[in-house]
Amino acid sequence: MRWNCSSIENAPNFTPDLGKGTRESAFVYALASATLSHTIARACASGELPTCSCGATPAEVPGPGFRWGGCGDNLRYGLNMGSAFVDAPMKSSKSGGTQATKMMNLHNNAVGRQVLTESMETKCKCHGVSGSCSVKTCWKGLQDLSHIANELKSKYLGATKVIHRQTGTRRHLVPRELDIRPVRESEMVYLVSSPDYCIKNPKLGSYGTQDRLCNKTSVGSDSCNLMCCGRGYNAYTETIVERCQCKYFWCCYVMCKKCERTVERYVCK
């Protein structure tokens, strides 16, 4: 996509596009919130933190053929400590930013933690003669961050633009296009439109798409038409060396040959 998360690499010194309540800012805050709680929950289970240990044994009755055991990720501790850390600046009167931006960030932080919570799954290890798996020990564990990031990317693509409006005695975030309903807890929200990321503009936080690789045959966001913003593209060839014709020899190693092939690449003008 035109925005390829490159702005995150400068954290905590964010580019302007991540400091003005954009859709990209929403994604970054949600992802950071989920990542912190995920890291703490996993660290508890691995014994890296002296203040916590394994997650509590699930209350649900185990099914036939398995029992609760092992060391589950301590999601509760991760959520409590993670939210206390990432939400603190938004709740402080000393920190910068408008009230609307703080409310937006708090909301997206919570979206990140909700996706993290929903990623909790049952993981098992088999026991039995010759790996027969007659008995399984199971625990609750979090899915990898790549799964959580993909879920948040879907919410990023479907994020709702909101405004900060007085309703009753308090101000709330309400959808700009459909302000007759409250903002859903599960949806990512943003306040201002993003730059198009086509042309390099440091004041907007855009790196531009010049020299970015594009896909000539795609019709999606990585297509040369969309990625290059109508400027066109240049083609060049590249020689790739890769392993091929691999054979397995008993016992126990694999031998491969090295093959070369030429591929055509396309980059935006």
Task: Quote the pLDDT of residue 130.
Answer: 66
Mean predicted confidence (pLDDT) in 160-178: 81
Q: Which of 7-16, 45-54, 137-146, 250-259 has the lowest mean pLDDT?
A: 7-16
Q: Answer with the residue of higher pLDDT: 69 or 27.
A: 27
In the numeric block, which tokens belong to residue 156? 């990023």
Angstrom distance (rounded) from CA 120 to CA 29 = 20
Task: Quote the pLDDT of residue 235.
Answer: 95
Are 235 and 206 spatial neighbours (Cβ–Cβ below 8 Å)? no
Q: Please state the domain extents for the chain.
A: 21-190, 224-268
Most confident of 7-21, 105-119, 173-187: 105-119
Q: What is the DSSP string of 51-74?
A: T--SPPPPSSPP-TTEEE-S----
- Using CA atoms, how far residue 43 sits from 39, 124, 263, in Å, is 6, 19, 43
Are 266 and 224 spatial neighbours (Cβ–Cβ below 8 Å)? yes
Mean predicted confidence (pLDDT) in 131-136: 76
Q: Is the pLDDT of residue 63 over 70?
A: yes
The half-sphere exposure of 136 on its side-chain side, counting CA atoms within 13 A, is 12
Record the pTM: 0.85
Q: Is the pLDDT of residue 169 over 90?
A: no
pLDDT band at 153 (very low <50, low <70, confident <90, very high): very high
Are 149 and 142 spatial neighbours (Cβ–Cβ below 8 Å)? no
pLDDT band at 11 (very low <50, low <70, confident <90, very high): confident
Mean predicted confidence (pLDDT) in 193-210: 92
Q: Which amino acid is at 123?
A: K
pLDDT more than 70, % of the chain:
97
Question: Residue 172: exposed, middle, or buried by beta-carbon count in 10 A (0-12, 13-18, 19+)?
Answer: middle
Q: Which of 121-130, 197-206, 212-221 has the lowest mean pLDDT?
A: 121-130
Task: Quote the pLDDT of residue 256.
Answer: 94
Task: Quote the pLDDT of residue 155.
Answer: 96
Other CB atoms within a 10 A radius of the CB of residue 77 amount to 22
224-241 per-position pLDDT tens digit: 999 999 999 999 998 999
Tell me phi and psi for residue 184, to 5 degrees: -75, 145
Q: Answer with the residue of higher pLDDT: 196 or 63.
A: 196
Angstrom distance (rounded) from CA 231 to CA 221 = 15
Angle at 62 between CA 61 and CA 66, to 5 degrees: 165
pLDDT band at 180 (very low <50, low <70, confident <90, very high): low
In the numeric block, which tokens belong to residue 256? 């491969």
- Arch. (CATH architecture) of 224-268: 2-Layer Sandwich (3.30)
Tell me phi and psi for residue 199, to 5 degrees: -110, 140
Angstrom distance (rounded) from CA 69 to CA 73 = 12
